C-alpha cells in the first residue's frame, strides 16, 4: 500500500503559535484554503483510491478540494488525530512549546514515556495510530494509494519511527502545512519512507504568512 500522509492547511492557531489539538479545532485561514486548493494539481499523477480525514475540522477543509477533483467522499477515521497537548492545550509560551516539542523528539527516538501532563502516553499514541492505520489498510487493496489528511506532530513522529529515520528536530525534519510524507508497505510487513516533502505541495510561495508553525497540531515554532 502507498500512504500519502498529508498535513492539513494553515489554521489561526498555526499563525499565532498556539498548541491546539482539541476537537473540533479551528478551520483554515485564507492561506490554508489556498494551500488546500493547490493539492489536487500537485497530486495529479497519483492514482488515489480514497481520502481519510481525522475528526478535526481542518482536515476536512483541507481534503475538500482534492475530494471534489477526484469525485470521492472523505472517510472519517478516528485515531489519526494530533498528539494530545494535555495541560498545554491552548498555550503558546516558549516553555510549553518546548515541552511539547521535546516529547516529540523523545518519541521519535523510540522512547516510551508518559508524555506531557494531562496528555496521552507514547504507548497510547502508538496504539491509537497503529490501530487507525491498520483499519485504513484493511479497507483497501494492498496496492492502493490512499491519502490520509492528518496533523503535523503525529505524522512526523509516526513516520520517523516506522521509517527508521530516528529523532530529528523540527528544523532538521520540518513538515509545513500541506507538506507530505509518503510511506509504502503494510501494517504486517512494516512501512518505509519513500518521500518527505516538507514544503506545501503547491510550492514554497504558499509558506507566506506562516509566522509560526506550532504543531500540537502543530508542532513547534518554525519561522517561514
**What is the per-residue pLDDT across 156-205, written as a single tens digit (0 to 9) for each?**
999 999 999 998 878 889 999 999 999 999 999 999 999 999 999 999 99
Beta strands in the chain (DSSP E): 2-7, 48-53, 75-76, 145-150, 180-186, 190-197
Query: Does the model's pTM come out above 0.75?
Result: yes
pLDDT of residue 208: 74
- Boundaries of every domain in the chain: 2-181+196-217
b (16+ CB within 10 A) / e for 76-93: ebebbbbbbbbebbebbe
Question: And the C-alpha cell for 23?
Answer: 476537537
Question: What CATH superfamily classification does 2-181+196-217 receive?
Answer: Phosphoglycerate mutase-like (3.40.50.1240)
What is the length of the chain? 224
Is residue 64 within 8 Å of 72, Cβ to Cβ? no
pLDDT of residue 220: 37
Q: Which residues are part of the catalytic machinery?
A: 8, 82
DSSP-assigned letter for residue 205: G
Residues of the chain short of pLDDT 50, as ranges, are 211-213, 218-224
pLDDT of residue 221: 34
φ/ψ of 49, rounded to 5, equals -90, -35
Amino acid at each position: 500500500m502507498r500512504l500519502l500522509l498529508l498535513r492539513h492547511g494553515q489554521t489561526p492557531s498555526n499563525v499565532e503559535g498556539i498548541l491546539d489539538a482539541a476537537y473540533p479545532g479551528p478551520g483554515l485561514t485564507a492561506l490554508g484554503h489556498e494551500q488546500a486548493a493547490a493539492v489536487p494539481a500537485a497530486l495529479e499523477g497519483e492514482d488515489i483510491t480514497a481520502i481519510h480525514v481525522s475528526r478535526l475540522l481542518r482536515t476536512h477543509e483541507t481534503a475538500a478540494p482534492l475530494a471534489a477533483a477526484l469525485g470521492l467522499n472523505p472517510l472519517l477515521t478516528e485515531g489519526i488525530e494530533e498528539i494530545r497537548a494535555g495541560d498545554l492545550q491552548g498555550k503558546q509560551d516558549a516553555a510549553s512549546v518546548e515541552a511539547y516539542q521535546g516529547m516529540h523528539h523523545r518519541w521519535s527516538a523510540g522512547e516510551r514515556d508518559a508524555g506531557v501532563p494531562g496528555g496521552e502516553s507514547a504507548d497510547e499514541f502508538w496504539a491509537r495510530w497503529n490501530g487507525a492505520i491498520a483499519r485504513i489498510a484493511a479497507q483497501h487493496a494492498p496496492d492502493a494509494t490512499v491519502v490520509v489528511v492528518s496533523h503535523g506532530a503525529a505524522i512526523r513522529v509516526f513516520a520517523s519511527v516506522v521509517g527508521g529515520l530516528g529523532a530529528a528536530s523540527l528544523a532538521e525534519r520540518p513538515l509545513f502545512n500541506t507538506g507530505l510524507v509518503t510511506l509504502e508497505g503494510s501494517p504486517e510487513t512494516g512501512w518505509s519512507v519513500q518521500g518527505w516533502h516538507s514544503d506545501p505541495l503547491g510550492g514554497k510561495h504558499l509558506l507566506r504568512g506562516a509566522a509560526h508553525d506550532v504543531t500540537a497540531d502543530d508542532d513547534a515554532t518554525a519561522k517561514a
